[in-house]
Amino acid sequence: MSAKKSKKAEPTPEATPEAIRRDAWIYELIHRGHKGDRLFYRRVCRGAARVLELGCGYGRLLLPIAEVAREVVGVEIHPGLRERVEARVAALPPVKAARIDIVAGDMRGPLPAGPFDRILIPFNGLFCLPSEADQIRCLRAAREVAAPDARLFLDAYVIDEESLIPSGEPVADEFEHVLTVLAPEGEIDIYEQNVEYPGAQRIDANFRLVLRDEAGGEQLFTHGLEHRFLLPTEMERVLAAAGWRMVQMAGGWRGARFGPRSPLMVIEAAPDPADATG
């Protein structure tokens, strides 16, 4: 499920600072985006006055976007990830760092005060919320801080509705090697397992990371994500429930027409002027 990773949920209250930092370190290792997304988001944000990214993580997209937009605001709930992006911002020249603001917060709101002319929920971010009601709440919060002519952009992997198991017990794949990373800590092999929960539109991604250091020692780390995915046929309805009008659902970064074999849905939406509560 290399295309089915998303923003990490907030760590449990009892997590130690060391565990929080380790969680963020693992997250950065395994979350590298969909190929082509950085160029896409830079393009759609070029010249924007104010950009809001929901679930900005460790700044993988936020910092490149800040090079082409006048002001960017990133919302991130995970303290370890905020620490990592804040360190990156602090290392920038002051004139560039001044254009970036990192806010501790939940994608479901309340969000920083608008208006924003670009609002982004990249890399399956909407799927990390646990229910459709939470997903609509997130989109509604974004609608409330959107400028009248704003654009919302999000991308997510596609689940084939016909492949879903309608009922029964959870179905777990075997762990599969997906990536080897050469990190400062050593060579890291990453293995992934998917667990589908029939009838729940839920898929869990479980990871095992094996770190081998220069002395030949090994350490095992684990990491897990829970997704509540949306089907392509549901997206327009969910957007409308939150006050957005679908402008386009593309099947890739260059605007390819969405079809049955599209691996991604790349969505552009605009505020619905008929939405009385926006």
pLDDT band at 15 (very low <50, low <70, confident <90, very high): confident
CATH of 17-158+231-271, one of 3.40.1380.20, 3.40.50.11890, 3.40.50.150, 3.40.50.1240: 3.40.50.150
Report how far apart, in Å, the C-alpha atoms of 111 and of each of 53, 101, 105, 118, 219 are. Answer: 10, 13, 7, 14, 39
CA distance 12 to 95: 36
**Cβ-count burial 70-101 (b if 16+ within 10 Å, e if not):** eebbbbbbbbbbbbbbbebbeeeeeeebebbb
Q: What is the pLDDT of residue 277?
A: 57
Q: Summarize pLDDT for 141-167 with one digit per residue, the tens.
A: 999 999 999 999 999 999 988 888 889
Report how far apart, in Å, the C-alpha atoms of 200 and of each of 108, 131, 164, 170, 204 are. Answer: 21, 10, 10, 10, 11
Q: Summarize pLDDT for 66-79 with one digit per residue, the tens.
A: 999 999 999 999 99
**How many Cβ atoms are within 10 Å of 222's Cβ, its own excluded?**
10
| Least confident piece of the model among 17-26, 159-168, 179-188, 195-204 | 159-168
Of 143, 95, 157, nearest in space to 275 by CA? 143
Of 243, 237, 239, nearest in space to 276 by CA? 243
Q: What is the pLDDT of residue 214?
A: 80
- Helices 17-30 and 79-90, packing angle to 10 deg: 70
Q: Summarize pLDDT for 234-246 with one digit per residue, the tens.
A: 999 999 999 999 9
